[in-house]
Structure 1
Amino acid sequence: MTETEIADIFRQFMWTAAWMGAPMIATALVVGIVVGLFQALTSIQEMTLTFAPKLLAMLLVFWLTAGHMARLLANLFDSIILPAIAGS
């Protein structure tokens, strides 16, 4: 296995990780902005207020996208990892 092949596998791992984490990160960003705007409009300065909505939203998004994430990971292993292990 050459350095180029190893770098390509690593690149594929990084892109797969980015696509798997993107829905939850985007959800945390949107919920954080909405709660922050709510806090600014109502003058509520509670630092822990954003934790529960973000946690619930991220759990919901994880539950909704778990199948998609599993398909991405299975596709990565079927198309990249297993052929690299087999040497083809």
Structure 2
Amino acid sequence: MDENMLFDMVRQSLWVAVRMSAPLLAVALITGVVIGLFQALTSVQEMTLTFVPKVALMLGVFWVTMSFMTTTLASLFSDRILPLVAGG
């Protein structure tokens, strides 16, 4: 395996990581902004108000996108990593 193949593998692995984490990070960002605006408008400064809804929504999104994440990771391993390990 030469360095071009290694760099390509790292690039594809990072892209898969970005695609897998994007739904969770987007929900956390949107929830944080909405709750931050709510706190700014109402002057409520409760720490659990930001933590609990964000965690609950992220768990929900994780549950919904779990099959997408599993399929994406399994295809990366079966299409790219396992052939390199086997010498292909």
Q: TM-score range by the shorter chain?
A: over 0.9
Q: Distance in 2 between matches of 1:33 and 1:51?
A: 12
Query: 1:52 — aligned with what?
Result: 52
Q: Distance in 2 between matches of 1:27 and 1:45?
A: 21
Q: Distance in 2 between matches of 1:8 and 1:70?
A: 21
SS at match of 2:53: helix
TM-score by length of 2: 0.95
Misfit runs of 4+, over 2 Å: none
Amino acid across the alignment from 2:75 = N
Question: Which of the two has greater helix per residue?
Answer: 2
Matching of residues 4-83 of structure 1 within 5 Å:
4-83=4-83
SS at match of 2:15: helix
Task: Report how far residue 81 of structure 1 moved.
Answer: 0.3
Task: Report how far residue 48 of structure 1 moved.
Answer: 3.4
Percent of matched pairs sharing the same residue: 55
What's the CA shift string for 1:6-61, capped at 9, x where partnerless?
Answer: 11111111001100100000000000011011111111122332000000000000
TM-score by length of 1: 0.95
Q: Distance in 2 between matches of 1:12 and 1:76?
A: 8
Number of matched pairs: 88
Structure 1: segments with no counterpart, 5+ residues: none
